Structure 1
Amino acid sequence: MVETLEIFRSGTTQARRSVRIGGAMALALAGLVTAGCANEIPLPGTAGDPTTAGAELRVLGYEAASDLGAAVRVYAQPGRLTVTTLGSSSCPDVPEITDVDVENQRVTLSIYMLGREGACTADLAPRTFELSVSGDLAFYEVEATRP
C-alpha cells in the first residue's frame, strides 16, 4: 500500500507536491525501530524444560524454588548433562561444570546469574542447557553451588 502525503508551500502561489512513501521506506523505518534490539546479547540455553532428558540425577545444594519444582534439575545421557535452571527469564542462571570427581561419582556445577543491563524480570521460568561431558554420568550426584 502506498500512502500519499500532500505538502503545501506558503507564498503567493501555492504549489502542491505529493510525496510518496512506499513499501521500501516503511521497511527502512521498521528496521530503524527494531535496530536497538539487534544489539542485545542472545540468552544462552533454551527457554523451557528439556524435550529429552535422560536419567535424573540427585542435586545437592539447592532447595526447591517453588511449586514449579527444584531450582536446578540435572539429567544424564552418555556424553552430556542436561541442566535446567529455574529463575528470571531475562537474567537466567547459567550452569558451568567446575569439577567431575570420578572416584566419588560427583559433578560440581557452579551456577552464575547472567549479567545483563537493566533490571531482571521477577518471574520464574525454566531454561535448559546441554553440557558436554566424557562418558556416562548416570549414577553421579550433582553438587550445585553459587560462587
Structure 2
Amino acid sequence: MLTSLGNGRRTYATHGVVVACSIAVLAAGCGPSTADLAGKVTIDGKPLPDDAKGTLYFAPTNPDAGKAVASAIEGSAYQASGVPSGEISVSFEITQDVGPKKVSQRTGAEYQETKSLVPPSAAGGLRIDVTGDNANQDFDL
C-alpha cells in the first residue's frame, strides 16, 4: 500500500505500519510451547498420608525454555498447567506435621514442626521430558 503525495513522491508509511502490525501479531503467537500435566504422587507405591502437604516444582533445564511452574499436591494428585516443553527438572516439597503445636515466643503465632517425606533418592529432584499434555504423569518416589 503506497500513498502518493501531491509532488509525485511516494511514501512507504502505510506499508511500514502494515508490516509492523503483522510482525507484532506473529510474535504474540511465538514463544515456548507448554503442556498441561496431571497425575499421582506416591511414596513406595503408597498414597501420601492424609495430613501431608506438598508442592511440585517444574523448572526447565534450559532457562530460555520458559518459566518454572508450581503445583499443589492434594490427595496425592496434582494438576499443572503451562509446564514448558522440553527437559524439565521436577522437585518435590512434601511435609507432614510432627509433635504438638507450639507458640512462637517472638511473634506469638502458633506453629508446628514438620518433617520432609521426600525420600533421599528424590531429594535432588527428577528429570522428565515434556513433549505434550499428559494426564498420567505419575511420580513414585
| TM-score, normalised with respect to structure 1 | 0.28
Query: Which one has the bigger helix percentage?
Result: 2
| TM-score, normalised with respect to structure 2 | 0.28
